[in-house]
Structure 1
Amino acid sequence: MHWQPIEDLPSNWEKLASAELPPLVTVWNEQAQRLRSSGEFKTFMERLSREIAIETGIIERLYTLDRGITRLLIEQGINEALIPHGATNRPVKQVVSLIQDQEAAIEGLFDFVGGQRTLSTFYTKQLHQLLTQNQDSTEAETPTGQIISVPLIQGDWKRLPNNPKRPDGSMHEYCPPEQVASEMDRLVEWHHQHQTRQIPPEVEAAWLHHRFTQIHPFQDGNGRVARCLASLVFIQAEWFPLVLTRDDTGAYIAASEQADKGDLSNLINLFSKSQKQAFIRSLGLSEQILSEARRAQVVIASIADKLKQNQSASIQNRCRKVEGFAANLFEIASNRLQDIANDIKLSVQNLVSEAQVFTVSAPAGDSRSYYHRYQVVETAKQLGYFANLRHYHSWIQLAINVESTTTILLSFHVLGHEYRGLLVCSACAYHRDNAEEGERNISDIQALTDSLFQFSYADEEGNLTERFKQWLEYVLVTGLEYWNKSL
């Protein structure tokens, strides 16, 4: 691929913006101050930063680290003593230093925003210096094709081309060294113009990230800097730093290659998904935040009572509105699952005797709405949030009894301990195996998507319905593939 000068935003950028983030941001903004002031939110942000710091090194192939140790480091902090021999392919001390550099860079982004500074080429060089201060060398290819280690230029533009070879032998050309300074000046200038135009954060973050990687201004470390620049856009919007993990690597590379061809949509979608998950995880923080808020209310009890009366009416209205949305989505899902059931019965009627394929559902308020708690909670654990079935719950299941029993379950419920007008729909599949005394054991519960379907009173119904139908189709295809593997 030949290098081309970077281009401004595509003309259709408005159509590329996420339809599901603005309603979620509305709910977040209403609770953000209460959450940010809590000790638990600070712990959440520290763990988020550690996750980003660890995973970015894995994505960049600076080191390997197994998942169990990664989780331990995220939960307990970056500590050499927590990394046993053989858990990584580099000296432990070096791995810890690289992770700490990334942590420091993320912390620096918050300081940068707090100081109300604006992005510049000088700051970009500072960022690179910080990210690479414990990386002395990088790989280079000689004219004969030999891979050698060379000293790393820290905090300054590259002096030689850094064009990688593709597996097919073709060359991917980045910006020539002599053009880097002017291209970076143009990138920063356009970014400032976009800030004035209030381009949606997910669009701007993806654009800035991709155009920076097109330039590839540094000898090495460009991916780390690019993700920090994307995080900077999100932090300036009072959102969350960009979280991409080893599990996102395939989608990340594919989206970047698609952007090279002029289509930013997949990269925007990937960044939007990361933000959505961070919003949902933060909104689902535990009861500790609520108890801290209540202690503060004691100090101003008389005012709080008045506010609470006014607010409760507002919250009730919001909950009624989102429950109306939920009822519509429930009906859409029920009809679609029944269509699937009919299609399966038709396809197997001459192949399998005694096949049973049917749907069962319980709308909100049904006496059976408390069923399937175990499956819903297990799915929530897999996706990292708290499923609240007390305030609202409805479910639909598709049971497929063809040689073995597979169930696809959709559940509408509240996210987190407090209900303020935000609902989610989760989807899982599981098997029911015959056991002693006629019992049937539930086994192999699997979430059918790594992203919940979330919706709130702030959604626009037309967009919400289309979003849900797309999500539902993905879930059903994944669920049918799960059934297929059991045959």
Structure 2
Amino acid sequence: MRWREVEALPDLNGGVAAILASADALKGAWEDWLKHVPEEEFRQARRRSLRRHAIETGIIERLYDVDWGVTLALVAEGLTQEVAAREGGISDDTLEVIRSQYDALEFLADAARGGKDLSVHFVRELHQAITRRQGAYGATDTLGRAFEAPLRHGEWKRHSNHVVRPDGTLLEYTPPEHVQAQMDHLITLYREMESVHPIVRAAWLHHRFICIHPFEDGNGRVARALTLLVLLRDDYAPLVVDRSQRARYIDALDQANDGDLAPLIRLFARLEIGALRFELEAPAVLREAASGAAEVARAHVDRIRANLSKAIAGRAVPAVQLADSLQTKVVNYLRKQGDALRDAFSVIAPETIVHVEHAQPPSQRSFLQRDHFRSMASSAGFRPNLNEGVWWGRLYIEIMEYVLHFDTAIIKAGAAEAGALVFTVWAAVSPPGEPGSNDLPEPVWVCHPTPDDSVTLVFSDAPDARWPEITEVIDQALTAAVDQLGQQLG
């Protein structure tokens, strides 16, 4: 694919309006929630978001690898060797690179708060800051031999840096002699897009910058940082492309190379929803101002009472009504799918049993299996609020001594007053037990929730408007689970 001059925003091939509206609705709830959050709590949440981005952006580029447990600790507590050592450790060189990337993001966040406009000079400054601790990069000479070349921080590339796509075709980036002109054109077009939705604008800027690939190395990290700049200037949360999203992210970029920007926009919208959920989480730390157990307890009681009061006055009731309405739809849908699956399996196993269980607040059964739902939420990328129960459904299919467990859950997310909910799914298969044994075998996971296997909801959503997204998640997950069950049946 030959290099092309920077192109303006095209007509979008796929519908993006619904997911952008979802992101904006959650953003509205998040902004209202921030009005009641102490400034220091917000700053802590923002630091966690930027630390997470600083770690993951290098992992995406295969610059280094960091164990997930180490990542969680560094995000929660700070970028120090002491924190990392408790979870297994990290090399000094890797930590220094991550710190330089974090410092660059702080620099970028300050620029966004100060209303600094995007410019070619700023892009070069940003590259210099991000790669400050990186002295070299992997290059290839004219004979195809790999070697380490010194990285020139903040300077345009001097040699072509084309890549081979997965299908074997060559993707050409802008030649070195045209980089300055194309960067100038990029900034001009960007400034003409003030009226475009920020997530769309961020996706366009991200991809067009990648197409230029103006630096010898670090282009992906700079592109993801520029995405943050666009979003932060419009008061969105800083989204993170993490390791679990790498394949989907690269595929979306490749589709954009072929002219379809919609998959990248949808991916960024989903990641923005995840980022907003992430910042809705109250920091799990005690207030430094409190001294002594009783004072700490009183501080937390005061905060919880205030939150509950605001929740009752604002979003709690409509959020519950939304969850109740969707739960009815989910349970009926599970029954319908269960009947269809029983009919299908009865051809080879007439004794197939299908059963649906469910519960919702205020039933005591909605408080069962809290660890299970906490695990589902963690895998789906959010911190659950289980204080008032979970809207859950469970489809059992028992066939030829195998049992498929398919769970759905609507779980409150983040602070109580935010009025945010997440719908997600999980599935496992229990194989037959050993002959003569009374011990039941552990279920084998066949469908684990991810941030993409969930739907974020806010109190103001209309159930019918969000229902197609929920059925899509159910259908995809249940199809994968039944496929795994069929394979185990032989």
Range into which the TM-score falls when normalised by the shorter chain:
0.7 to 0.9
Partner of 1:468: 470
Following TM superposition, by how much is the alpha carbon of 1:102 offset from its aligned partner in structure 2, in angstroms?
0.5
Identity among equivalent positions (%) equals 29
1:83-127 alpha-carbon deviations (Å, 9 max, x no partner):
69x977xxx333222111101111011110122210000000101
User: Which residue does 2:255 correspond to in 1?
Assistant: 258
Secondary structure of 2:422 counterpart:
strand
Question: Aligned pair in 2 of structure 1 residues 68, 361: CA closer, same or farther (>3 Å)?
Answer: closer
* Structure-1 residue corresponding to 2:189: 190
2:60 counterpart residue number: 59
The 3 A distance-change label for structure 1 pair 109 and 481 is farther
1:350 CA displacement: 3.0
- Shifted more, 179-188 versus 432-441: the winner is 432-441
Q: Distance in 2 between matches of 1:477 and 1:308?
A: 39
Describe how 1:445-484 pairs up with structure 2 within 5 A: 447-451=448-452, 452-481=454-483, 483-484=485-486
2:388 is paired with a residue whose SS is strand
| CA–CA separation in structure 2 for the residues paired with 1:455 and 1:355 | 35
Q: Which amino acid aligns with 1:44?
A: A
1:209 to 206, 210, 213: 206
Alpha-carbon distance in 1 for matches of 2:488, 2:279: 36
Amino acid at match of 1:471: V
**Deviation, structure 1 residue 184:** 1.0
Spell out, residue by residue over 1:372-426, the C-alpha distance to the aligned partner (whole angstroms, 9 max, x if none): 4442233224335443344354322100112222211112232245255333323
Equivalence map 1:142-161=2 (5 Å): 142-161=141-160
Matched, 1:27 2:29: yes
Task: Answer with 258-267 or 406-415: which moved more.
Answer: 406-415
Q: In the alignment, residue 6 of structure 2 is paired with which amino acid?
A: I
Q: Helix, strand or coil for the counterpart of 2:172? A: coil
Which shows bigger deviation, 218-227 or 447-456? 447-456
CA 1:174–1:19 in 2, change beyond 3 Å: closer, same or farther? same
Alignment of 1:297-446 (within 5 A): 314-315=313-314, 318-352=315-349, 354-366=351-363, 368-391=365-388, 393-402=390-399, 403-416=401-414, 418-431=416-429, 443-444=443-444
Indicate the SS of the match to 2:259: coil
Q: Which amino acid aligns with 2:265?
A: I
Deviation, structure 1 residue 175: 0.9
Where do residues 102-251 of structure 1 align in structure 2 (5 Å cutoff)?
102-166=101-165, 170-195=169-194, 197=195, 199-251=196-248
Q: Aligned in 2, Cα 1:251/1:168: closer, same or farther, shift over 3 Å?
A: closer
In structure 2, the partner of 1:95 is 94
Does the aligned pair in 1 maintain the 2:419–2:458 contact within 8 Å?
yes
Question: Equivalent residue of 2:21, what SS?
Answer: coil
**Match of 1:11?**
11
**Matched-pair contact (CA < 8 Å) for 2:109–2:232:** yes
The separation in 2 between residues aligned to 1:342 and 1:296, in whole angstroms, is: 48
Alpha-carbon distance between aligned partners in 2 of 1:69 and 1:344, rounded to the nearest angstrom = 43
CA distance in 1, matches of 2:64, 2:365: 50
Would the alpha carbon gap of residues 212 and 342 (structure 1) be closer, same or farther in structure 2, given more than 3 Å must change?
same
Match of 1:103, SS? Answer: helix
Whole-angstrom CA distance in 2 between matches of 1:278 and 1:175? 32
- For residue 214 of structure 1, report the CA deviation from its aligned partner: 0.6
Whole-angstrom CA distance in 2 between matches of 1:284 and 1:65: 23
Q: 2:113–2:232: 8 Å Cα contact kept in structure 1? A: no
Distance in 1 (CA, whole Å) between partners of 2:5 and 2:299 is 57
Structure 1 pair 457–338 and aligned structure 2 pair: CA distance change class (3 A): same
Answer whether contact 2:96 2:133 (CA < 8 A) is retained.
Answer: yes
The number of residue pairs the alignment matches comes to 472
Counterparts of 1:188 and 1:321, CA distance in 2: 43
CA–CA distance in 1 between the matches of 2:34 and 2:55? 26
CA offset digits 1:277-300 (Å, max 9, x no partner): 1212222326879999x96999xx
SS of structure 2 residue aligned to 1:369 = helix
**What SS is found at the alignment partner of 1:74?**
helix
Deviates more, 1:123-132 or 1:469-478: 469-478
- Provide the rounded CA distance (Å) in 1 between the counterparts of 2:439 and 2:415: 33
Given that 1:19 and 1:463 are in contact with CA atoms closer than 8 Å, whether structure 2 keeps it comes out as no
Partners of 1:420 and 1:9 lie apart in 2 by: 34
What secondary structure, in the 3-state scheme, does the structure 1 residue paired with 2:149 have? strand
Query: What does residue 301 of structure 1 align with?
Result: none
Mapped contact 2:380–2:449 kept (Cα < 8 A): no
Task: Report the 3-state secondary structure (helix = DSSP H, G, I; strand = E; otherwise coil) of the residue aligned with 2:240.
Answer: coil
Q: Distance in 1 between matches of 2:165 and 2:421?
A: 45
Q: Secondary structure at the match of 1:117?
A: coil
1:207: how far off? 0.7
State the one-letter code of the partner of 2:54.
A
Q: Which letter does structure 2 place at the counterpart of 1:125?
A: R
Query: Aligned to 1:455, what secondary structure does the other structure show?
Result: strand
The gaps in structure 1 that reach 5 residues or longer are: 299-303
How does the TM-score come out when normalised to structure 1? Answer: 0.85
**Which one is further off, 370-379 or 249-258?**
370-379
Distance 1:59 1:440, change over 3 A: same
CA distance in 2, matches of 1:150, 1:374: 50
Q: 1:448 to 1:343 in 2, by over 3 A?
A: farther
Q: Which letter maps to 1:31? A: W
CA distance in 2, matches of 1:274, 1:238: 15
What do residues 53-108 of structure 1 show as CA deviations (whole Å, max 9, x unaligned)? 12211221222333343334334433346469x977xxx33322211110111101
1:2 alignment counterpart: 2
- What's the Cα RMSD here? 3.5
DSSP 3-state at the match of 2:192: helix
The two structures have a TM-score, normalised by structure 2, of 0.85
